Structure 1
Amino acid sequence: MAVPARHWIAPEFGGPERWRFVETTAPTPVQGEVTIRVRAAGMNPADRKHVATARPGLTLPAPIGYEVSGEILAIGPDPRIGSGDAQVGDEVIAFRVQGGYATALTIPAEKAFRKPGPLSHAEAANLLLAGSTAAEMLDRVRAEPGETILLHGASGAVGVMVLQLAALRDIRVIGTTSEAGADRVRGFGGIPIAYGAGLEERVRALGIPVHAALDAVGTDEAVDVSLALVPDRSRIVTIAAPARAAEHGFAAIAGSQPESALFRDRIRGELVRLADEGLLTVPLARTYPLADALEATRFLAEGHPGGKLALIP
């Protein structure tokens, strides 16, 4: 049966001040679908950016949010999800959904995976977007065991995932950060280095050859230093400076790109496995009630929350 719910929508393009928290219904799942009771919705800068202006394929009103953690309320005739067989009551996470800022939603079953046991719902709801982005960045620059990479924005959500995945592969990371984030970078196995004037010289002074560069911040400094230190531009990637990437001939990736989407879908199961084995953690800064999504979005927009945010219905 259909489930009454509430969710956040963008009735028009623009900032979060235009969003509305409205009544809705999670439809009865049909073949290949499941209905999830949301226990936590992950928050990402993309949630806001994707409804800021009109773009192909986006219609109004647009539901907000791309990843959740919760439990199965109902399942269609085929009791399988992305991680295998499932049943009502199973705890799951889902990624690349539409409308995660909700109390319940019905989604394609292949997008749901068994929730990693060691993670809380708030942590699990923030695993897959940051984790799959980090994994794709490492894959795109062909990072290998024994190499050293320069990571811009190492103390952020994607940066912390890069640090963990790199450590599992014996890849050394020099990570740019503020003074406040240095201990976080060090704690996840990276070599913290302060961003700002003189960054290139500070990296060179370490005496460690840099084989590849990953940019998670998009500043001119990050791009310029990457270009100066990594001669092979196929080993530079950004998630935040597409114009500079086009200008200088290195890769810019985004979940909206078909190639990126395919990679991120393929890597979901591996990220869930690593988290289930306690090898991936999700630093959590704060949770907010779902009804306070606008306040949470303002806090996220400040840029330095110190960990992930989650909305709790």
Structure 2
Amino acid sequence: MTKVQGIAFTEFGSADVLHPTDIDVPEPGPGQVRIEVRAAGVNPLDHKIRAGSMNAVFPVQLPHVPGVEASGVVESVGEGVTGLAVGDEVFGPTVSGAYAPLALAEAAKLAVKPGSLGFPEAAALPIATETAYRALEALGVQPGQTLIVHGAAGGVGSMAVQFAVTRGLRVVGTASEANHEHLRALGAIPVSYGAGLVDRVREAAPEGVDAALDTTGLSESLAASVELTGGKDRVLTIADPVTAGEYGVAFSSGGGKDGYRGEPAFAEALALQAEGVLEVAVHQAYPLAEAADAQRASEAGHLRGKIVLLP
């Protein structure tokens, strides 16, 4: 069994529990490939698992290597894999921790990385694009409608904005002031968080708001969304099932009954990328050894795009 040095934690806690650790990387099983990780995405799920707050719904065995998405080069191919070969450049979700030089992935869930897309940008795509695609599909938004996206400058938010704009929707995005110009460049109307949010949105979108996508889990975002859309049935959050339950709005976490939508999501993103109209924002790239700092930055929020790690 191959041993590599990755990042792991042996107890739940703050980012301080993350340490370089020698880990075993098993051979790829049927339908799997092993990839040499060139970049790994850092997601809110990572620090929630590390803190122990996801144990009820996402239990992990310790020591645990974080990371659920990566880009890299196929290094080994398991039985029954077709369409991918050693040396192919790919991106997608991983089945072993991506905070490592090598990781396993289901071949069927990977996409081939075009040469025009860098590895850091490719690593920022899988979770963000799949989540944004699935959320917009669940909301049933149509061209000509108005969508509000809370946390619009982050990884999922910025992808949702771009998918929605290119599908012909009007998009209002909430974000900190520092990210307003970024949202305008993506085609959204930016508004600030805080007191008076509902009034600012109504001024920005006098035609009204048809649906709301929340990536923040903030009570003020969900309360404003219910008020702006006139009900709970056109509001969806991906951030916090507890807060979603308090406001009676939909929560989507992917997989299970929600269904995994990676294939059409990646196809749409890559089509936009081929047209030269997709912006994949990487907030910052950290060396793998600085994974603790990367997770601290992720927890602090107010990101423009995704944080990635470079082994």
Moved more, 8-17 or 36-45: 8-17
Superposed CA deviations along residues 126-157 of structure 1, whole A, max 9, x for unmatched, are 10111111112211211100100111111222
Check whether the contact 1:174–1:193 (CA below 8 A) recurs between aligned residues.
yes
When residues 14 and 224 of structure 1 are mapped into structure 2, their CA distance, relative to the original with a 3 A threshold, is same
Give 1:204's aligned residue.
202
Secondary structure at 2:128's aligned position in 1? helix
Cα distance per residue 1:66-111 (max 9 Å; x no partner): 101100111123342xxxx111111011215330000012333223
- Cα gap change, 1:165 to 1:304, in 2 (>3 Å): same
Deviation at 1:180, TM superposition (A): 0.9
Q: 1:158 aligns with which of 149, 156, 159?
A: 156
Deviation above 4 Å: which 4+ runs of structure 1? none
Give the SS at the match of 1:233. Answer: coil
Does the Cα contact within 8 Å between 1:115 and 1:272 map onto a contact in 2?
Answer: no
CA contact (8 A) 1:42 1:311 kept: yes
Distance 2:211 2:240 in 1: 16
Number of aligned residue pairs: 306
Residue 193 (structure 1) aligned with residue 191 (structure 2): yes
Do the aligned partners of residues 32 and 263 (structure 1) sit closer, same or farther apart at CA in structure 2, a change above 3 Å counting? closer
Q: Which residue number corresponds to residue 287 of structure 1?
A: 285
Within 5 Å, which residues of 2 pair with 1:115-194?
A: 115-194=113-192
- Please tell me whether residue 67 in structure 1 is matched to residue 69 in structure 2: yes
- State yes or no: 1:263 paired with 2:260: yes
Partner SS state of residue 103, structure 2: strand
Using the size of structure 1 for normalisation, the TM-score is 0.90
% identical equivalent positions: 38
Q: Give ranges in structure 2 of 5+ residues lacking alignment.
A: none
How large is the RMSD of aligned CA atoms in angstroms?
A: 2.0
Aligned to 1:39: 38
Separation (CA, whole Å) in 1 of partners of 2:295 and 2:42: 8
Deviation at 1:243, TM superposition (A): 2.8
Unpaired runs of at least 5, structure 1: none
Structure 1 residues 271, 5: closer, same or farther in 2, change over 3 A? farther
Q: 1:96 to 1:139 in 2, by over 3 A?
A: farther
The SS at the match of 2:50 is coil
